[in-house]
Structure 1
Amino acid sequence: MILIAEIWRSFRALPLWVQIWVALILVPVNLASSFFIYENMGLLVALLAIGGMTPNPVIMMFDRGVSKAMAIPHLVIWFPLVVFLIWIVQSPYIEGQYQAYLWLLLVVDGVSLAFDIPDTWKWAKGDRAIAS
């Protein structure tokens, strides 16, 4: 129970806009990929979208809070996802709500990567601080 409290305290120490971004936009948009697994390439999209977030609880437990290390899985998994989305979102076989969702996912994960690249660089240079 103490570990969960430490992680929660660390998350709440982040700027409010970051908390809102993560809790109300980033995580829900990526999890929404599970609603489209039966669409063209939907399973692959869902595996990559959710897969980019999956290592972060382990990182939070290991670090006992939120750190820049959480950006690394995003780079490794979401960078290929974003490249893939740029390619498939314009396909004639992708349309309607699914296409609109893929555009949203592309924008959200693209914005996330814009934050993740500098965070990964800072982490690699030794910034291992935990938000507190």
Structure 2
Amino acid sequence: MDDTAQKNLFVEVWTSFRNIPLWVQLWMVFWLVPINAASLLFWQEENGLWVALLANIAMLLNLPVMAYERRISRTMALPHLPFWTPLVVLILWMTPDLSTTYGVYLWVLAATNSLSLAFDYADAVRWFNGDRD
């Protein structure tokens, strides 16, 4: 990919991102991505490697989606489903101890990704029904 095409890709994705509702932009940049990325800080805890893998693979798989579609779209909900659903189930199964930093983090992560999954499942249904914007 030459420099012009690469710059255009970044401009197109950035422009698309800036066109989604402001609250979604803020949610993604200041909460959703950081809270999932923070799982890397706990990779040595009980099931921490699984938590980190499930949390971050779902996000990383959106990079090729954005590159291919050259925009933010409902397709980005799809990688979350097979990774964040088992992640939330794993955390609930673990019943983390709220007296530890890791336990509090896991409950916050589960709540965050549960809320995100509610939107993701709705977007996935719309995507499968042909609404792919």
TM-score range, shorter chain: over 0.9
- CA RMSD in angstroms comes to 1.2
The structural deviation recorded for 1:89 is: 2.8
The structural deviation recorded for 1:79 is: 0.5
Confirm or deny: 8 A CA contact 1:89 1:102 kept in the other structure. Answer: no
Find the aligned partners of 2:22 and 2:120 in 1 and give their Cα distance: 18
Q: Which runs of 5+ in 2 are unaligned?
A: 1-6
Aligned equivalent of 1:114: 118
| Structure with more relative contact order (C-alpha pairs < 8 Å, separation 6 or more) | 1
Alignment of 1:1-132 (within 5 A): 1-90=7-96, 96-129=100-133
- Following TM superposition, the consecutive aligned residue runs of length 4 or more in structure 1 with deviations greater than 6 angstroms are none
Find the aligned partners of 1:15 and 1:57 in 2 and give their Cα distance: 20
For residues 19-40 of structure 1, what are the alpha-carbon distances to aligned partners after superposition, in whole Å with 9 as ceiling and x for unaligned?
0011110000000000001111
Per the normalisation by structure 2, the TM-score is 0.92
Length, aligned pairs only: 127
SS in 1 for 2:59: coil
The structural deviation recorded for 1:95 is: 5.1
SS in 2 for 1:52: helix
Find the aligned partners of 2:81 and 2:36 in 1 and give their Cα distance: 14
The sequence identity of aligned pairs, in percent, is: 46
Per the normalisation by structure 1, the TM-score is 0.93
For residues 2-21 of structure 1, what are the alpha-carbon distances to aligned partners after superposition, in whole Å with 9 as ceiling and x for unaligned?
10000000000000000001
For residues 21-75 of structure 1, what are the alpha-carbon distances to aligned partners after superposition, in whole Å with 9 as ceiling and x for unaligned?
1111000000000000111110110000001111101101111100000000111
More helix by share: 2
